[in-house]
Amino acid sequence: MTATTASVEAAADRLELATATGIACAPITDLVPAGDIDVAYQVQRRLTERRLAAGARIIGRKIGLTSAAVQRQIGVDRPDFGVLFDDMSYADGELIPVGRLLQPKAEAEVAFLLGRDIEDASDPAALRDAVELAFPALEIVDSRIADWRIGITDTVADNASSGVFVVGTTGTPLDAVAPIDVTMTMRRGDEVVSTGTGRDCLGDPLNALAWLAATLIDVGTPLRAGDLVLSGALGPMVSVSAGDVFVADIAPLGTVTARFSGKDEQ
């Protein structure tokens, strides 16, 4: 076993243990040098392999760190991506057990359901045509790293700081909406806690989709018809507590609700 392979396995073990125990761990920079994104993605792939071996199913991808506000919150300057597994998905308004999460934060975004494979990300028209429907979505990001003390290496390895997600019930075809023009208001109860627009997601959520499509083509795992893509935050993420209810209005796509269990609920 090479030093790099040993480091990848050790980093995956640390993150996996944090998930299993619900106890956040130290950053992995003692195992994967800060800024070594290639090795960080090796850790992510190793964790993905373990999840698949345990019976999980991949249903899409998520793009992270697309909002300048979120990049400032985390202290990074580039997007990343992670994997969406079937057990991460909750229905609109379904109760999410807060205990399955360590340090959850909510962010509102546009989700794309693909109707075609994306083999070439260089043609904006073809990219747009590959999208069957756009949905309002709430991603609940999470970190296995204690106190969110993360850099780009930590978050990439940790499946782009994934937690769970909720997608609205009704999708809209792109001939009826321009993702760049959507406006987002997210409320926790009656309080407005985050706002933004499509332009806050890499200038346009379709830019984020193009970045992801090109990146995945380069690594040999292109996006396919049927994939769901969470395109990235439209505004600042907000900490989640037991019993919280978040409602995001992403006009004109509609609303989506994430409800969290109380401390004593399962």
Q: What is the pLDDT of residues 51-63, one digit of tens each?
A: 999 999 999 999 9
Instruction: Give CA–CA dist 55/53, Å, rounded.
Output: 5
pLDDT at 156 over 80: yes
User: What pLDDT is attached to residue 68?
Assistant: 76
Q: What's the chain's average pLDDT?
A: 94
pLDDT at 74 over 80: no
User: What pLDDT is attached to residue 263?
Assistant: 73
Instruction: Give CA–CA dist 164/100, Å, rounded.
Output: 9
